[in-house]
Amino acid sequence: MSYPVSARAGIVVTGTEVLTGRVQDRNGPWLADRLLELGVELAHITICGDRPSDIEAQLRFLAGEGVDLIVTSGGLGPTADDVTVATVAEFSGRELILDDALEATIADILRRLMGRSGVGEVDFDAVLAANRKQAMVPQGAEILSPVGTAPGVVVPGTPTIVVLPGPPRELQPMWDKAIRTDGVQQAIAGRTEYRQATIRMFGLPESGLAETLRDGEQSIADFDRLEITTCLRRGELEIVTRYEPDAAPVYDALLALLQTRHGREIFSTDGALVDDQVAELLAGRTIATAESCTAGLVAARLTDRPGSSAYVAGGVVSYSNEAKSALLGVDPRLIAEHGAVSEPVAEAMAMGALRRFEADTAISTTGIAGPGGGSAEKPVGTVCFSVQLADGRSTTTTLVLPGNRSDVRERSTTVAMHLLRRLLSTPAGVGHA
């Protein structure tokens, strides 16, 4: 693997709740990905609490290491322990000044938020005073408009410092604006342009992929011009490859090798998620769910995206045996004979959902998420799935999934998505399994 000369960056994550592990940092990894995509090399991530001297020490460290860009996250709230902007201003030798236009913007946002919250009576002027602090910016900084109530700032210099809020849903939308600022563009001028491509697989063990990659190293010329990282997550394998544009033929050779060896397991070569694919396959259809061990997670995942009400009718969480019979019409004798976790019951649940919701597509899950309830015959992690279509196509299967209660529930949800994808993309008349 080669490391081309490039722009270098460091990330400073602030927040005592992150330093002490009470909140898991999601910004460091997210920013690391964005920097990689840009072709900027990430050298260090540093995490500290809300103490100005510690934040300042980390800025000094990174500047001393010669990075071109520092990105900070957190510490932009209205409370006294939020000190990042003031600390960055002092570090850059810039005065903090009140930005009147920004103050007015924040006041507008707060008025709107408070007007509709109905959470309780608070003196609006006191709130404004607390939030005035958020309108103080380092002189000469570029302002990134707030997504929540906290604005970000870009302080140009050597290094340029991008100051972003802590909540990921505020930080992420601000990033695109941040990289378009002059300050950041100057800092990352020395970067190398990379292409990045993502291949997704389902159902292949990581060791199988490793073997193919070792073979590729032998059989594909210039294989070392590809920077390949693989990641296994909930049964899906994600293969991300970065390469300089002129190494595109090498990437094409890799893709061809993977398709020859693992064509059945590859479900995406354009970055699309299984959720995107299932949403597309469900257009014009109506789906209902019947969940036991996943208890709503499949319905929640199907409705995660805007517009899903066009094809999701609803679902039943039938946690108890009584609910399976009363709401889905599962024959109690079927449960008595085969047990609640069995393929006949999974089929009956899915068929009940088809009927009760007048849907044309239904999926069911019934399993043992643990930690209790397992047996020698049906250990913890045993989950039965059934997909039923109104045209008679169907698929029913049983898997034993690894991990703890939460792993089994999440993994089952992902398996359900893939079973839907496979059956819905099979031509009619072929799919009865």
Judged by CB under 8 A, the chain residues 227 through 266 that form the site for a second copy are: 228-233, 238, 240, 265
Q: Which is nearer to a second copy, 141 or 225 (CB)?
A: 225
Q: Which is nearer to a second copy, 139 or 375 (CB)?
A: 375
User: Rounded distance, CA 290 to CA 324, Å?
Assistant: 9
Q: Which of 387, 388, 385 is nearest to 366 (CA)?
A: 385
User: Rounded distance, CA 364 to CA 293, Å?
Assistant: 10
Residue from 2, 100, 116, 428 that binds a second copy (CB under 8 A)? 116
Q: Which of 257, 259, 264, 265 is nearest to 215 (CA)?
A: 257
269 binds a second copy (CB under 8 A): no
Q: Which is nearer to a second copy, 110 or 141 (CB)?
A: 110
Binding positions for a second copy, 173-232, rule CB under 8 A: 203-211, 213-214, 228-232
Q: How far is the CB of 138 from a second copy (least distance, A)?
A: 22
351 binds a second copy (CB under 8 A): no
User: Rounded distance, CA 398 to CA 420, Å?
Assistant: 15
DSSP 272-304: --HHHHHHHHTTT--EEEEESTTTTHHHHHHTS
Task: From 41-49, 174-182, 187-195, 418-426, give the range in contact with a second copy by CB under 8 A.
Answer: 41-49
How many residues touch a second copy (CB under 8 A)? 114
DSSP 99-159: -HHHHHHHHHHHHHHHHHH-S----HHHHHHHHHGGGEEETTPEEE--SSSPPEEEE-SSS
159 binds a second copy (CB under 8 A): no
Binding positions for a second copy, 286-325, rule CB under 8 A: 289, 291, 294-300, 302-304, 306-307, 309, 312-320, 322-323
48 binds a second copy (CB under 8 A): yes
Q: Pseudo-torsion of CA 131, 95, 12, 198, nearest 10°?
A: 80
113 binds a second copy (CB under 8 A): yes
284 binds a second copy (CB under 8 A): no
Q: How far is the CB of 86 from a second copy (least distance, A)?
A: 15
